[in-house]
Amino acid sequence: MFIVIEGIDGTGKTTLCRFLEERLVREGYDVVITAEPTGGPIGELIRRKGFDPRAEALLFAADRSCHTADINEWLSRGKVVISDRYYVSSLAYQGASHEGMTDWIAMINEPVIREPDVTVVLDIDPEEGLGRISSRGENSRFETVGYLARVRENYLRIARERGYRVMDASRDRNETLDEIMKMIREE
């Protein structure tokens, strides 16, 4: 089972992934938590340095290609994989960086991805999300309200088009976890 948690910065994806792992482990599953950008050389490079939008999209896809190989390996060993971001992040973020790049981003990602069994998009107002991040002193170059508002619109549109579940990031975490666990059991 391959589960992906998506959403703009400040939605609490990382914390939710940890709590989800805890629940799944309690139910006896063997779980791997992973994230994008990865901690591999390409992921590290993207975090360190800015590139022009096309180079950036290609680097995210290259990082993802290595990541997908790892994910396939974990899944083949019977693990449940939870990923904090995957390819929808590129559609939403790089799609918001440059109008007209969306089709090309989908095209370069298509060969390097594996469709997740469950994708959840956490949703929050960008101002609130940014407020949560600034209080942690973690703002990065990807984060301004105007940009995140466009990223959020992309997420909501993609979720509508592809049938991904959107969950309110400000509600009680246990309710969100219950809903995700139900989706997992129904898979």
Closest distance between ligand TMP and the C-beta of residue 159, in Å? 16
Closest distance between ligand TMP and the C-beta of residue 28, in Å? 29
Q: Cβ neighbours of residue 155 under 8 Å, at least 6 residues apart?
A: 6, 7, 8, 88, 92, 121, 123, 166
Enumerate binding residues for ligand TMP (CB under 6 A). 9, 36-37, 60, 85, 89-90, 93-94, 140, 142-143
Closest CB to ligand TMP among residues 29, 125? 125
Closest distance between ligand TMP and the C-beta of residue 14, in Å? 7
Closest CB to ligand TMP among residues 9, 184? 9
Virtual torsion, Cα 106, 111, 117, 121, nearest 10 deg:
-30
Closest distance between ligand TMP and the C-beta of residue 84, in Å? 6
Q: Under a CB-based contact definition with an 8 Å cutoff, are residues 27 and 106 in contact?
A: no
Helices 173-186 and 13-26, packing angle to 10 deg: 60
